[in-house]
Amino acid sequence: MHILNGRWSRAKFPPFLSWARPDSYWDVVVSHLPLALMTGIALLLPHYVSCDLLPVKKCTFLSLTGYPCPFCGFTRSFWALANGDWGFALNDTPLACLAYIGTSLMFAWHLTALLMGVKVVSGLFRRMKSVRASWLIVTMLVLNWAFRLALGLK
């Protein structure tokens, strides 16, 4: 909330989606190429590197307590999803399925913007900074963690 003309009003979010064709293609490249590369690498890496070969350190929380942390299983499930094993991922870490779908959508979003030569801006990222979105993310992590603990997964 903020004060506008002496009255309280809700802060307006930018439009959910807007795009523009900038004067220079470099504006598009600077806006979209970094995230297209990061998400593309995240989606392609599981096809070329075995999950066993990843230089991932064993979870300290799991080593100390014997229970998985809220983030345990995400890498393994992401690798399973990339290789088409949705059943394993849903049974191991259901929230990783949403992360994989989100990564795929972000890759498609940024690659399309690069190919079309438009700068696409979303109000979604500003909405994700809200308190409500933060609570939703924390709640989803806790529920995913509770699911893993209830099944005795490590």
- State the chain's mean pLDDT as an integer: 84
Whether the pTM exceeds 0.75: the reply is: yes
Residue 5 within any structural domain of the chain = no
Q: Quick one: which of 13, 35, 20, 17 has its CA closest to 126?
A: 13
User: Can you give the pLDDT at residue 4?
Assistant: 44
User: Can you give the pLDDT at residue 50?
Assistant: 84
Residue 7 within any structural domain of the chain = no
Q: Is the pLDDT of residue 6 over 50?
A: no
Tell me the residue range of the domain where 120 lies: 24-50+67-151
Q: Is the pLDDT of residue 124 over 90?
A: no
At 24, is the pLDDT very low, low, confident or very high (cuts 50, 70, 90)? confident
Residue 16 within any structural domain of the chain = no
Amino acid type, 136? L
Burial group, residue 148, by CB count within 10 angstroms (0-12, 13-18, 19+): buried
User: Can you give the pLDDT at residue 57?
Assistant: 78
If one counts the domains in the chain, the total is 1
